[in-house]
Each structure stands twice: as structure tokens, then as C-alpha cells.
Structure 1
């Protein structure tokens, strides 16, 4: 009988690719939805990616509610906790998403420990391992970001505090259940659905010619398909237990991403901007660009980061970021 893996947040970008990868490997997958009304569309999306759906089942559970999690966990061998509340960086309250992210994570972990699952792999964020901007230290798994650091917006603060709370809980109450966290950079790659675009909004806006000139911002990018594979390796590799893993490929400036789109998409990339904006101009425009407000401290910065541990322990081998960008753009239609 196939092992059963619970994947939280089945409508999400990363969760969808985790489900596809697990089903193609022969696992049975149960995924959580806030309403079963989404089941037909999720099943169709997973099938469209070439995955068999006869071993895919659904459970109703909400990160903000206690009800449903025990039933969702029943009979599961492992858990990929991927779901998390999303923010657009525009909230003035940097702690606005902390409660849903932290409390939702703890609900999942309590139910997992109670059900006796073997291992929980949680999706965190590379920002949780980012040192202060003034530091020359390389971002790696030994670093814990300071949630009070002004470089972090509400979404990243929620990720930092949720991961900290998760490790504290598992140290005190995890019992025999093992725990691993995966810390991805900016997640690009082909969409399975147009819901919850997340980082992919950056590519979409560039294709629309927005903004007309580019801020000097860059990202450590990971392909969503490589990230899904890494979650599974983190789930099955014995040496991964009790570890954090940064998941990132190459660093790319927005102007480099734009250049890839223009050079490889032909007419489809004709509207992609090529001009850059000086940092001082971007800062003046930030009050009118709420989606970039959370990235303001990173203007012009290429902070050092390493995913060596994921390469060494999990055999992480990310594909070229240029290919990821193009596959992402093509999936946008």
C-alpha cells in the first residue's frame, strides 16, 4: 500500500507542484482545502500536469480553525506543511500575518504529533536566515533573522516567527515526529493555476510593461518544480531530520530577468521594460508603489547566500534560472 502524505493548502502554487511530484512518485496524497467546492478544479489542475489523481484525496481544514486537522492527519505517514497566509507588502502593520502563520503552523504540528506521523517538512522562507543588512555575513541555515529588523515586511516577519515557534514546539512536544524546514528564495516557474500568483506577479507585470523602468532589485530564485522535489527529498532523507535547508539557485537582478524575457520571447516580450530607475527615484515613488514597499531596504543590494547544505545533503540541483523565467512566462499565456 502506498504511503500517504498530507500536503496543506492544496490550491497553492508550491503545494500544487508538491502534489504533482508526490503522485508521480507513487505516493497517495491528501490535501487540505478550506472548502470542498475547490476539489474539482484542484483535481483537474493536477491531472493537467500529467499526474494520476486516483490516489489524491481531500480534507477540509483551515489554518485559522482547530476543526478538521485531526481528521486530515488520520492515516498519514508524512506531512508537507506548505500553506501560509500571503501578503502583498503593503500592510502598515508588520505583525499583521504573524498570528495566522504561527497559530496555523502550530495547529498542523499538534495534529501531526498526535497522529504519530513520521516527519513534517515545513515551507519557510530564505528571509528567515537573512542577517542584518549591515552585516557581511553570508545567509545560511545557522542564521536566524531578527523579526524587528526593518528590512522585513509583514509576510517575512510572519515566516520568521512561525518557523521559530515551530522549532520551539517540536523541541518541547514533538515526540517521535521528525521536523525539517525548507527556506526558498523567490519562487518562479510554470503556473498550474492563475490563483495566488505570489512571486510570479513580478514576471506578469514585466510582460505587461510594468513598471516602465526597473528598480535595482534582485532575487535569489528557485524553480517551483525544483522546490517540490527538494521537499520530497527533505521528507525521505534520513540525514535531513532536525535540519533547515535553504533552497535557491541563482541571484538575478530585475533588469537581468527582463533581459531574458526580451531576448527569448520575441514579440511576447516586446513590452518588457529595459530602463532602470536610480534608487533615489524609487524611494520617492514608494508611497505610490505599495507592492514594493517591503523590498525598499534591499534596493541595490545583492546579499550573500548559500544553498550548499541542500546540495550536499539532499542532492539539490536547480535548473538554470533563465529557463525557469521563460517557463514561468509561457505559463502566463
Structure 2
């Protein structure tokens, strides 16, 4: 079995990637920016059923600093760069800094991997690097599509993810010295929470369960289960045909918040009593946007359905993801089980 480095070991996706690697028998090294979070990271893995023993170690390495990367990467066969290269407190309004951190952090990992003789790096990119900066279209996006970072409507986060992935491919083409690269580009990632420290995507489901959203705006999201995202990382790491390729991670067609709410009500029964039943007309959202920042953020996305296809991941890697409905319910059930939803 291989020795694999996973960056950002305390993160939601990274935890499931580590779990999948351990189940497959690999030795895992996980990086943390703050070693004080090792206990939290191990608790998440234990909640996921792992008892790794000597098969797992944690190493301090910061995406903003060269220190620690050589030691963490030494002797590794593969590297999975899952960490989001955004420092604590970074605000999207500081666009230049956000982009610099995303791009430079990704290149720093690739340089360390090249120096250590790593065979292949898998970078966790995003659908944000695929489906934005274009006029809405009825056909799904695929791996040939790229977000236009110069489009005026593209926000700082989306631009940073796009430029970071571009930098990764440029590095491999110019300085990779034979090292292979693959990227995984997930849509919104749901799935079972492993603890109270949740990603923003899981918080969306909690907001629906708690009744924090009295009615849903007409917004559509692509969804995928985190367990399937982790499995896709492992295939992208080992399958020979994955080298040099991008893979969209999506369960299928984008679904509306209204559809998500219906899945929760049907699947959970009384536990979904606070879930909204009605969809707001677009005009009401626009009126609310005059006073409410959260409504203002929703306005540009009203009615726009950006769907992606998983055909390539199915064909090349044999990937078969859970449905969006399964991902939604698994998320909700875990939040209820962990006591993270109002009683």
C-alpha cells in the first residue's frame, strides 16, 4: 500500500478522504496549520469508524509558509491537496490577497511534492472553476469548461478557485518534471457530519431544518455526497487514465432549495416540521434585498440552474455516486443525531 499526504486534515472533505485511504490500507500523513486541532481531527475520524494507530500521523504545515512541507512530504507516493488555501479571517472583499493565497498555497504543495518525488498529486478544485462567467445555458457543464475569471459577475472566491487550479496545471506543464496531476471539482458537498464544526454547505441544511429560512428563494444547487467525493479522490489518485484529467463530482442535475425542503419533509416526517413549505416569488426576494444583505446575495442566482455532468468520472473511473436525495437526508439525519438542530 502507498504512503499518502492529505493536506488540511481537520476539514470536512479531508476527513472523509483520510477515512477512505485508511480503509483501503494506505499509510496516511495529514497536515494541519495548527497542531492544536489534532485532537479534533482524530475525534472526527473516530466518529467515522477509524482506529488508525500507526497508519496515521499528523504534521504541521501551513499553506502560507514553506516550513514543514519537505518533512511532511518525504517518502510519500501520492499527495491529495484537499485544504482550502484561505487563512483564518480572510474576507472575500480582500480579493487580491484571497487569490494570492489560493494560488500560492497550491503551487507550494506542488513544489514540495515534486521535490519529494511524489508520483501524482490530486488537487481538490471546485465547480467554481468550471461553471461561472458564462451566460446561463440549458446543457450541463463538463470538464472542458472553465470559469472566466475576468467576468465582472464572478466573485472573489470563484475567481480564486479558478486561478488556483489554472496555476496547478501551468506548474505541471512547465515545472512538473514528470509528476502527474488530476483534479476533482465538486459541486456543493453534503453528507454525514462527523462533529459540531461543520462546513457552510451543511449549515444550509441545518438552516432549513431549524426554520431559519421561512420560505425558499428560487435558487438551484448541484449536490454531491462527501463519501463519493472521497472515493473519487482515491480513483483519481490510482487509476492510470486519470493522469492529466479533471473530474466533476456531482450527483446529477442541480436541485432547487424548494426541492431540497420537500426531500427533508418527506424523508424525515415530524423531524422536518420547521422546514419551509413555500417558494418565494422572485419579486419578493428582490424587494427584501433592499433591506436584507442575505436576500441581496440571492438575487443574482435567482432562477439560474447550473448543472454539471458526471459522465466522465463514471466512464473513466467507474464512479457511481449516491443521489442528491440520499446526500440531503444523510446530512439531515447526522445533524439531528448530533443534536445540532433545534429540538
1:37 is the counterpart of 2:40: no
Question: By how many angstroms is 1:305 displaced?
Answer: 2.2
- TM (norm. structure 2) is 0.91
The answer for the alignment partner of 1:108 in structure 2 is 109
The answer for the alignment partner of 1:206 in structure 2 is 208
Q: In 2 relative to 1, CA 72–51 (structure 1 residues): closer, same or farther, beyond 3 Å?
A: same
The answer for the alignment partner of 2:288 in structure 1 is 285
Name the count of aligned residue pairs: 332
Question: By how many angstroms is 1:100 displaced?
Answer: 1.4
Q: C-alpha separation between the residues in 2 aligned to 1:306 and 1:3?
A: 31
Q: Judge which range, 314-323 or 290-299, deviates more.
A: 290-299
Q: C-alpha separation between the residues in 2 aligned to 1:152 and 1:325?
A: 27
Q: What SS does structure 2 have at the residue aligned with 1:101?
A: helix
The answer for the alignment partner of 2:334 in structure 1 is 331
Contact kept, 8 Å, 2:90 with 2:98, in 1: the verdict is no
The answer for the alignment partner of 1:247 in structure 2 is 249
Contact kept, 8 Å, 2:223 with 2:250, in 1: the verdict is yes
Contact kept, 8 Å, 2:77 with 2:118, in 1: the verdict is yes
Contact kept, 8 Å, 1:13 with 1:193, in 2: the verdict is no
After superposition, give the CA deviation of every residue in 1:196-255 in whole Å (9 maximum; x if it has no partner).
Answer: 412111101101112211110111111000000000000000000000111101321100
Q: What SS does structure 2 have at the residue aligned with 1:43?
A: helix
Q: C-alpha separation between the residues in 1 aligned to 2:91 and 2:34?
A: 27
Q: Judge which range, 221-230 or 198-207, deviates more.
A: 198-207
Q: C-alpha separation between the residues in 1 aligned to 2:295 and 2:115?
A: 41
- TM (norm. structure 1) is 0.93
The answer for the alignment partner of 1:51 in structure 2 is 50
Question: By how many angstroms is 1:277 displaced?
Answer: 1.4
Q: In 2 relative to 1, CA 327–65 (structure 1 residues): closer, same or farther, beyond 3 Å?
A: same
Contact kept, 8 Å, 1:116 with 1:176, in 2: the verdict is no
Q: In 2 relative to 1, CA 45–158 (structure 1 residues): closer, same or farther, beyond 3 Å?
A: same
After superposition, give the CA deviation of every residue in 1:250-298 in whole Å (9 maximum; x if it has no partner).
Answer: 3211000001111111222100111111223223334655456555432
Q: C-alpha separation between the residues in 2 aligned to 1:96 and 1:312?
A: 38
Q: What SS does structure 2 have at the residue aligned with 1:332?
A: helix
Q: What SS does structure 1 have at the residue aligned with 2:4?
A: strand
- Pairs within 5 Å for 1:290-329: 290=293, 296-329=299-332
Q: C-alpha separation between the residues in 2 aligned to 1:197 and 1:221?
A: 14
Question: By how many angstroms is 1:148 displaced?
Answer: 2.4
The answer for the alignment partner of 1:159 in structure 2 is 161
Q: C-alpha separation between the residues in 2 aligned to 1:295 and 1:33?
A: 34
Contact kept, 8 Å, 1:153 with 1:294, in 2: the verdict is no
Q: Judge which range, 297-306 or 199-208, deviates more.
A: 297-306
Q: Judge which range, 303-312 or 173-182, deviates more.
A: 303-312
Question: By how many angstroms is 1:332 displaced?
Answer: 1.1
Q: C-alpha separation between the residues in 2 aligned to 1:301 and 1:88?
A: 30
Q: What SS does structure 2 have at the residue aligned with 1:176?
A: coil
Q: C-alpha separation between the residues in 1 aligned to 2:151 and 2:298?
A: 13
The answer for the alignment partner of 2:340 in structure 1 is none
Q: C-alpha separation between the residues in 1 aligned to 2:49 and 2:185?
A: 27
Q: What SS does structure 2 have at the residue aligned with 1:97?
A: helix
